[in-house]
Structure 1
């Protein structure tokens, strides 16, 4: 098999490239994930899509192929999904704190991502230093939920073929469409998944919003912290919620404007051990939780409540 016909369409440069249909995108990604094409073709695909940029239709096709190859995570109630693929570079990685605060409020939470990154502090490393085991499969996820804890599932256990595509980054030096798709995964079966998707560029945020509305997704969109799905502890970002693709302004918030009155108390270092100690002090009440993070918890819990109300409402 070959994806050369697809590369011919998407590889014509920023001005001449043509977008794929959902069916074409699904077939292309399926071949890439199944390893039925050469390394040269995978590299060409990664560079071509990086130059062209994905459309909402292509994202839907790519996701369909990935979801077919994901391990399904069964649940009898909605799950908040926190894709953690960037880690900490300068600021503490507070995705584990967000996950734990949601779990404290009674939410079922699934965090997924890589175990290590040579240049970042991953959520998996913070989970480890918090004494929370990294899940190796579905049974471990279920055990974490039974303990009323968030579950961290490594991406190579959730979707091994996607993990291999993510690793192409270490050869090419660039992220690829796999990294975009990883942040949009919904592997939950038997219940709805509430995806928390972050963006760093406004254009990508608009693309994700288009996808959510077209595909009827449950999604909280925000400009995350260094690529993580957690609100910046220093300033409240804009957060937009859609349920079944419909925007919910009452469960969204505008960004904080103007000068900051005061900065939150954050650890000076961002290593995993220091971050874990800080998170423990917040959870115990010794230190206050960052206000933007608490606002994010409030919106997500409100979204889960709305989803529950929809489930209980009599059908017309």
Structure 2
């Protein structure tokens, strides 16, 4: 098979290219994920989309194709009666401690099933998977291991290579061409519990690194009738900046919920949390242990984020039964 016809449409530069429809985008991404096309075509697709940017319809088709290739996690849902929060974690820490695991632990403490997915290793960053390992938190590979973690009241991390091997291969193209590709946008939108699990509430945290992405992601969440928190992540991670509360917009079935959303902290900060000066996995895990033991306080921004997500789950459940 070939995706040359699609590349001809999306590859005419920023001004000459046009966007694909949902069905076209899904077909293209299915061929890419299933490796039915050549490496040269995959590289051309990645570069063309990098220049053009993804439309809402293209994101929809891409996400549909990817969800269909995620492993089945339905077995685990019975272990999360209060609902599920999905934390896509794909950037890792570069300068600040990566506290995604701390958010996951706070949510789990409140009885929520938490799945963090992303790469275990990034040669340029400290990943959430590495923090989970250093903190001796569950790293799971399938639904039964995920259920066991939730039954124990723990959050779980799953490598994208286990959740969706085809997506893992597409993400790895970055290390060949030197640029991120549409796979990175799609991975941050993955909630494998959205498809066929009845009324079980799930909410995903969708984060962005640059303000311009907020507009396209907001449009996608509205288009997809998604349950989500949209925010500017801490170095691209789905956790609030412990130093300053960011804006966090809650969407319930694609509708913005002003009452549940969090406003950003403005002005000059008078106090800062006592964060570790090192961002290594070991030092981050040690800090998280201190917070869990009560030696260090939970940063208010992360506490507020967790509470907003718990409230969003309750709202999703209420709307499902209404």
Unmatched tracts of structure 2, length 5 or more: none
- Residue 248 of structure 2 is matched in structure 1 by 239
Partner deviation per Cα, 1:72-106 (whole Å, 9 max, x = no partner): 22114431000011110000000000000000011
Where do residues 107-146 of structure 1 align in structure 2 (5 Å cutoff)?
107-146=112-151
- Residue 306 of structure 2 is matched in structure 1 by 297
Where do residues 188-227 of structure 1 align in structure 2 (5 Å cutoff)?
188=193, 189-190=196-197, 191-227=200-236
Query: In structure 2, how many angstroms separate the alpha carbons of the residues matched to 1:196 and 1:282?
Result: 22
Tell me if the contact between 2:201 and 2:317 (Cα under 8 Å) persists in the aligned partners: no
Query: In structure 1, how many angstroms separate the alpha carbons of the residues matched to 2:139 and 2:263?
Result: 34
3-state SS of paired residue (2:111): coil
Where do residues 142-291 of structure 1 align in structure 2 (5 Å cutoff)?
142-188=147-193, 189-190=196-197, 191-291=200-300
Tell me if the contact between 2:29 and 2:62 (Cα under 8 Å) persists in the aligned partners: yes
Partner deviation per Cα, 1:79-138 (whole Å, 9 max, x = no partner): 100001111000000000000000001111110011101111111111111111311111
Moved more, 144-153 or 191-200: 191-200
3-state SS of paired residue (1:204): helix
Matched, 1:49 2:49: yes
TM value normalised by structure 1: 0.97
Unmatched tracts of structure 1, length 5 or more: none
3-state SS of paired residue (2:107): helix
Query: In structure 2, how many angstroms separate the alpha carbons of the residues matched to 1:18 and 1:312?
Result: 41
Query: In structure 1, how many angstroms separate the alpha carbons of the residues matched to 2:299 and 2:177?
Result: 37
Query: In structure 2, how many angstroms separate the alpha carbons of the residues matched to 1:175 and 1:48?
Result: 12
Tell me if the contact between 2:201 and 2:313 (Cα under 8 Å) persists in the aligned partners: no
Deviation at 1:192, TM superposition (A): 3.6
Deviation at 1:168, TM superposition (A): 0.4
Query: In structure 2, how many angstroms separate the alpha carbons of the residues matched to 1:312 and 1:282?
Result: 36
Query: In structure 2, how many angstroms separate the alpha carbons of the residues matched to 1:310 and 1:68?
Result: 26
3-state SS of paired residue (2:262): coil
Query: In structure 2, how many angstroms separate the alpha carbons of the residues matched to 1:311 and 1:183?
Result: 24
Query: In structure 2, how many angstroms separate the alpha carbons of the residues matched to 1:253 and 1:202?
Result: 17
Query: In structure 1, how many angstroms separate the alpha carbons of the residues matched to 2:320 and 2:5?
Result: 44
Tell me if the contact between 2:73 and 2:142 (Cα under 8 Å) persists in the aligned partners: no
- State the 4+ residue runs in structure 1 displaced beyond 4 angstroms: none
Query: In structure 2, how many angstroms separate the alpha carbons of the residues matched to 1:246 and 1:79?
Result: 19
Query: In structure 2, how many angstroms separate the alpha carbons of the residues matched to 1:238 and 1:116?
Result: 29
Deviation at 1:236, TM superposition (A): 0.8
Deviation at 1:157, TM superposition (A): 0.6
3-state SS of paired residue (1:180): helix
Tell me if the contact between 2:234 and 2:241 (Cα under 8 Å) persists in the aligned partners: yes
TM value normalised by structure 2: 0.95
Where do residues 20-31 of structure 1 align in structure 2 (5 Å cutoff)?
20-31=20-31
Where do residues 58-69 of structure 1 align in structure 2 (5 Å cutoff)?
58-69=58-69
Query: In structure 2, how many angstroms separate the alpha carbons of the residues matched to 1:173 and 1:214?
Result: 31
RMSD of equivalent CA atoms? 1.0
